[in-house]
Amino acid sequence: AAFISIQAFPALLDLPEDLEVSAVSCGSRHTAVITRGGELYTWGWGKYGQLGHGNNISSDQARRVEHLVAKGLRVEEVVCGPWTTYIRVLE
């Protein structure tokens, strides 16, 4: 099981160096970023499927949401709620 740290203060994002981030949103226990290329990466607590990886698994590492890539969707905006993640996409 992944260890998910809950922090009540700002923290540096630990992302691969080649990612150019254009937007970030944080939920109560998960985080999502959009790259300049329109890809969505998520990590954190995934109990309710809010990471978008098709399961309820938590992850302490940023992972690309492959379903969006497979559908050819480009993410334009992301908003994380307490247990949800909302996105706006372009096809």
- Average confidence (pLDDT) per 10 residues, the chain, 91 residues: 67 82 93 96 94 94 95 97 94 75
What pLDDT, on a 0 to 100 scale, did the predictor assign at position 11?
73
pLDDT value at residue 13 = 77
**Tens digit of each residue's pLDDT (9 = 90 or more) over 47-56:** 999 999 999 9
Q: How far apart are CA 52 and CA 43, in angstroms?
A: 10
Taking alpha carbons only, the member of 71, 58, 54, 50 closest to residue 6 is 58
pLDDT of residue 4: 65
| DSSP structure class, residue 49 | S
Q: What is the structure's pLDDT at 17?
A: 83
